[in-house]
Structure 1
Amino acid sequence: MRTRTRLSLTLGLVLAALTTALLPWWQPQTPPVAQGNKATDAKPASTGPRDESAAVAEAKRTRKQVLVDTATTATEQTWALPSGQMRTQMSAAPQRAKNADGEWAPIDNTLTRAGSAADGLGVRPVNAAVPVRFSSGSKDASRADRSFARAPQPGQTVLAEMDVAGHTVAYTWPGALPEPVLDGPRALYSEVLPGVDLLLVVREEGGVAQLLIVKTPEAAKQEALKSVAYGLQSTTATFQLDAPKGRVLVLDKAGKEVASIPTPFAWDSSGQDPEAPESAPRTSVASPTDVLKLSGLTGIEPGAHSAQLPVSLDGDKTGTARLSLNVAETGLFTKPGVKFPLFVDPTMNAAWQAWTTAYRKYPNSSFWNGTNFSSGTSDARVGYESDTGGLGRSFWRMKFDPKIKGATVTRASYKVLNNHSWSCTDREFKFYLTGSISTGTTWNAQPSWSTHLQSKSFAHGWSTSCGDAYEAFDNANVKAAAQKGADNGWSNITFGMRATSEGDTQTWRKFRATSATLEVDYNVPRVSPPPVPAPLVGLVCPVRVRV
């Protein structure tokens, strides 16, 4: 009996000791016991990117909105709100890019010289939406060698390269290039032909804008300008001509579009100067500084003579092609009344969700991610102008965040910067939820104008009396459109704008395309974690041992 009792007591004490030792594991709030005089190691809190749960907790604690770092993309940011809701802001065009340290940073297209680049592409932007590289040029390049007619074969110079969706795509020029003059996102290569400059621009939307500037009537008579040609090269992508729309698609091996060259155009300097609408256009080409200030660099403006360029592609559906633009066929260079200098593009765009303008004057032309060569920023155009009979409608397509699927939308607001109007006279515009757009969208191939959301009258960007300003569309219908996207799990959402009266010159408007954003507040159903079982404290089980 004594032995049995002694064993029961001994085993009970052992179990009690084990229970005590395990208590810190069962009770996380219990402070660790210091051992002797040894200092405990203090581990700092994690400084990694803040995820949604951490942002929600911090917003609740601080009563401020908190960015969800792990949800940031080039076109999107999400915040946790103190109310417990989430807020996501979506943009049609990229707003940020990862820098050399792998951190998200604002897009900075300022061009710099990278020193002696082994590949000859030493002109590069600080932090572009997609990586691009421009030719360093050469101080010793002979004028006589920089000619379409006399360039040796193969005598191609890589003019520009762009990395997009895992592919490198290059433009080549048939001859040597001079060292460029840099101006923000622009690189000007002077006198690539007698009386002809070449301009490259890093685009806000991602990609490369390219333009020939024909400065004088004498320069326009050169045999080399009757048909302008560029080489296109890629080891992993192919180039395919879409002849009906006069554009070139850049496709991966699966046939997916990764970039595009929209319909190329030529135009003169007769257009209205958007910076000084009541002044004569700026046309001096006396120096590179003057060339970079030309009014015509903003693109085809009201009053300009313009023409779509016939396109052909040698090496169609291959990775080595030659893009030819038949300038002579347009008759623009010899047309009575044209004002020099003249401008000849094309542009190469990355395949962002992006935006486009449908233009009635050129009903089968693609103006996908249209270009402004003055600054690299682009203007979407809406309304009518009587100088050339131009009528535009514009569309923006945003990537719609899949996290919003199943959520209850409590607020939605779309806004865009109106940076030019025909005057300060208000006119009404209609805002729609539309069908989807693509690089093939034209006036004759518009998406459906499915749901009218809101009408507003406004005029901004003409003078100091009505300066540039954002216009917001944020009524119940806009919220309902965002809710429809959430209910159906849309991957993108497209909006369109058009003038209510499309025969009224006072409706002519331009909008900074990359400023367009959709901001949505929403409640996400949250699953509560399972309850944590209560800890077992000081429990000792009696044990009987038979001997």
Structure 2
Amino acid sequence: MAAIAGALLAGVIQPVVFAAPALAAPAVGAASGSVVQKTAETESAAIQAAESSDSNVEITSLRSESGEVYATPDGQLEAVQHLKPVRTRDDGGWKTVDNTLVKHADGSVAPQAAAVGLEFSGGGSGPLATLERAGRKLSFTWPTALPTPVLDGDSALYKDVLPDVDLKVRSATDGFSELLVVNTADAAKNPELAELKLKIDSPGLDLKSTDEGGLEAVDEAAGGIVFQAPKPIMWDSGQPATGARTLSAQDEADAAGGEDGPGDASNVAPIGVAVSNDGSQLSLTPDQGLLTSSDTTFPVYIDPQTYTPKAGEWTMVSKYWASSPQWRFNGDSDAGVGYCGWDYCAPYDTKRLFFKFPTSRFAGKSIVSATFVGHETWSASCDGRSVQLWRTKSFSSSTTWNSSDDNWLDLLDSRDVAKGYSSSCPGGDVEFDASAGVKYAASHNSSYTSFGLRAGTETDKYGWKRFSDDAYLRVKYNAPPKQLSMKQLSMNPGATCHKPGSKVRVRSLPKVMASDVKDPDGDQVSVQFSLWWDAGSGFKPQWTSAKIGPKKSGSDFSSQLAEQITSTKKIPKDTTLAWYARVQDYDEGKYYSYSPWSGAGSATGCYFVWDTSVPHGPTITSGDYPAADDSNPDDPAYDGVGRYGTFTVDASDTDVTRYQYGVNEDASSDNVVTTSGGAAKTISFRPTRSGTNFVNVQAFDSAGNGSEPSSYQFRVKAG
């Protein structure tokens, strides 16, 4: 019972967090042989470091409790997503999870570094266990005073809380488990085991039992689940059936139940759970049939699980226990896959495993590859047998064999392996191609994706295997280019990108330009332009250019519009026109993702009218800052930020009396140079930014009639 409460708590304790990252891959220092973490704080810095070092570099700003992201030498990103937290926040930094229990000065017991606030009793009448998350606490108190615990690693043992009944609590990665160990048949007859009542203290939480027989602690103010626990179970130390075959030590261990969870031959039964109306008491009712049956092998273990919703989840389903959930492998660190027709499995059974990972970070990304890595701990022999990876439907703490028969959606990969039977084929990782599953998640914006393992042949006892609960996803992906901003778009003539309400009129068809086009991963980029007008069936695209490029990230692109825009279409005069641009990234001979078109969302196209009655725009030249040439991949930058440059402006019309100009903005009356007869004039200014700059100039006559705006593009050094 106590175990149930503890297990419940353990589950309840887990905090809800996006996957936490694993530690960065270490590199061995050449000089001293010391281990050095290859890390960089930002994505751009990590990409550069990965390329120069020819090794993965972790992006520390993207770390989380159960995941990490690396820049790879080929310019991609690779995410590792664990099922469980591998680190926790500590004094503003990250610390590796360490469940080792230590005694504090006040006598309480707590783990060295847990993913949630967790404290156990040091003995006495105080709470057995207290969980804390997001400012909410949940405490469970044993009915009687507790003895001083014996600490052993992540566990604390309270001896003889009832005659010949021990209570053991264990700090788990995302919570804690509470295990009541009934050592003998005589101990099982104790009437106090008929029902155990634990005091609960849960300020601000609404603790209630679920329809599936578990527990939920809901934040009364925010409404979210803070702690939860599946339906608790109990099991015996069931031994394998006797037979002619001699069982190995591993066979015996897998067959017999123990503190880590039920074995393949264990008898298993559910535990009843009830919460008092005022939420102050939890009642746990062990199965009396299992406690008193002549077929029961002692010790019997009573173990409810509790946890906080966190990174991932996992469960097993059993054909023999077809209506019983086996959530989180019933607290065991591994579970079986396939048909167990061996003596140590009696009753013979077929099992399947499910794993759930958060995949929201991959939404909209181009998935290059994805690998599901499962750790095989046991095989029936060293002769390889097929095990399959599937994309499945989601699952919950109530999922069973009977309820999951139609969960299997897409077969992703199959591996013929055998690991763990003996030293000839030791346990180890098995890698499955999960690319199709993660690509589905990316294209459907899936917050979570579930996978399943099952034997290729579920009637072959040599296909029996066990896999651990530390599976993880390794995903290499490409981030799509970002949408071009309107500030990155310009035209000559026409100057900046104008919204519909302020469309510009130009005498000549313009060159349309996109500047400083980048890819977040540093890949090469290409650009497409599109021109829209209403040809009688609505305002829509009438022409889209071929891809221009690829060029290095940060390049400029342009396309000169011509009247005969296609073989069958001409650009109309005196008509509202608009142009757009989008980016596609390119790496190692392959195009990946498009950005949205530049007019997506709250942005608009760049609107103009081709009006041949508008006066010609002035010409602009400069010896200090020569015109940029985006067709030249080695187009140089000149002079530097903060250094004066002189630009000459000249008009072909003799009635021009003034020039207005703007630097990286439209020409305005704030910047005026007077002239007469359209004579050339010079303007001087100091560029304030490196990279591509623009000076936009418009000529006016004495009546205030303006020319088409001219735009001069030039490149500036950083300093």
Smaller-chain TM-score bracket: 0.7 to 0.9
Deviations 1:309-348 (Å, cap 9, x if unpaired)? 2333323xx54331321432xx112211322211111121
CA distance in 1, matches of 2:43, 2:329: 36
Indicate whether 1:369 and 2:342 are aligned: no
Are positions 1:481 and 2:444 aligned together?
no
Shift of 1:281: 9.7
* Residue 344 (1) aligns with residue 305 (2): no
SS at 1:296 equivalent: coil
Picking from 102, 109, 114, the partner of 1:128 is: 114
Q: TM-score, normalised by structure 1?
A: 0.75
- Most deviating of 352-361 and 180-189: 352-361
* 1:209 counterpart (170, 173, 177): 177
> For residues 234 and 444 of structure 1, do their structure 2 counterparts lie closer, same or farther at Cα, with a shift above 3 Å needed?
farther
1:521 aligns with 2:476: yes
- Contact conserved, 2:236 with 2:266, CA < 8 A, in 1? yes
From 98, 104, 113, the counterpart of 2:103: 113
Paired amino acid for 1:354: E
Letter in 2 for 1:133: E
Deviations for 1:50-80, whole angstroms, at most 9, x for unmatched residues? 0212212322333332111010111110011
Going from structure 1 to structure 2, the CA distance change for 1:471 and 1:540 (only over 3 Å counts) comes to: closer
Conserved in 2, the CA contact under 8 Å of 1:59 and 1:66?
Answer: yes
Q: Secondary structure at the match of 2:395?
A: coil
Task: Give the structure 2 partner of residue 73 of structure 1.
Answer: 64
SS at match of 2:326: coil
Structure 2 unaligned runs (5+)? 1-38, 242-246, 483-516, 519-553, 557-627, 629-636, 649-672, 675-719
Q: Residue type of the partner of 1:417?
A: H
Larger deviation: 272-281 or 332-341?
272-281
* Inter-partner Cα distance in structure 2 for 1:309 and 1:261: 12
> Which consecutive unaligned segments of at least 5 residues does structure 1 have?
1-47, 139-155, 283-293
Q: What is the Cα deviation at residue 113 of structure 1?
A: 0.7
Match of 1:174 in 2: 143
DSSP 3-state at the match of 1:57: helix
The answer for the alignment partner of 1:407 in structure 2 is 365
1:255 Cα deviation from its structure 2 partner: 4.6
Q: Which has a greater percent of strand?
A: 2
- Partner residue of 2:28? none
Cα deviation for residue 537 of structure 1 reads 4.2
2:81 aligns with 90
Alignment correspondent of 1:509: 465
Shift of 1:371: 4.4
Measured against aligned partners, the alpha-carbon deviations of 1:5-28 in whole angstroms (never above 9, x if no partner) come to xxxxxxxxxxxxxxxxxxxxxxxx
Inter-partner Cα distance in structure 1 for 2:262 and 2:393: 27
Q: Deviations over 1:77-98 (max 9, x none)?
A: 0011122111111112212222
> What is the root-mean-square deviation in Å for CA atoms of aligned residues?
3.0
Match of 1:325 among 275, 285, 292: 285
Residue 499 of structure 1 aligns with an amino acid whose one-letter code is: A
The verdict on how the C-alpha distance between 1:136 and 1:60 changes in structure 2, with shifts beyond 3 A counting, is same
Deviation at 1:179, TM superposition (A): 0.8
Task: Say whether the 8 Å CA contact 1:266–1:345 is kept in structure 2.
Answer: yes
Q: Is the 8 A contact 1:96 1:105 kept in 2?
A: yes
Return the letter of the residue paired with 1:110: T
Give 1:174 deviation, angstroms. 0.5
**Contact 2:270-2:286 within 8 A present in 1 as well:** no
List per-residue Cα deviations over 1:348-376 (Å, max 9, x = no partner): 1221222111223333433322344xxxx
Query: Matches of 1:423 and 1:333 in 2, distance apart?
Result: 35
Kept in 2, the 8 Å contact 1:77–1:88? The answer is yes
Residue-by-residue CA offset, 1:222-263 (whole Å, 9 max, x unaligned): 1111223333331122222224x3222222235533332222
The answer for the alignment partner of 2:156 in structure 1 is 187
Amino acid across the alignment from 1:304: S
Structure 1 segment 28-39 matched on structure 2, within 5 A: none
Distance of 1:230 and 1:422 partners within structure 2: 43
Report how far residue 173 of structure 1 moved.
Answer: 0.7
Query: Shift of the alpha carbon at 1:384?
Result: 2.8
Change (3 A) 1:55 1:382: same
Q: Name the amino acid aligned to 1:159.
A: L
Which residue number corresponds to residue 379 of structure 1? 334
How many residue pairs get aligned? The number is 449
Counterpart of 1:357 (choices 307, 312, 316) is 316
**Residue aligning to 1:335:** 293
Aligned to 2:216: 249
CA distance in 2, matches of 1:278, 1:82: 45
Instruction: Give yes or no for the alignment of 1:430 onto 2:430.
Output: no
Structure 1 stretch displaced more, 333-342 or 163-172: 163-172
Distance in 1 between the 2:647 and 2:232 partners?
A: 87
Name the % identity. 31
2:314–2:328 Cα contact (<8 Å) kept: yes
Query: Highest Rg: 1 or 2?
Result: 2
TM-score by length of 2: 0.58
- Going from structure 1 to structure 2, the CA distance change for 1:406 and 1:295 (only over 3 Å counts) comes to closer
Q: Deviations over 1:99-143 (max 9, x none)?
A: 3x23222211111111215xxxx11111122221111114xxxxx
SS in 1 for 2:471: strand
Distance 1:366 1:157, change over 3 A: farther
SS of match in other structure, 1:467: coil
- Cα distance in 2 for partners of 1:127, 1:504 equals 44
How has the CA–CA distance of structure 1 residues 65 and 199 changed in structure 2, closer, same or farther, with 3 Å as cutoff?
A: same
Deviates more, 1:178-187 or 1:389-398: 389-398
Cα distance in 2 for residues equivalent to 1:50 and 1:275: 50
C-alpha separation between the residues in 2 aligned to 1:464 and 1:438? 36
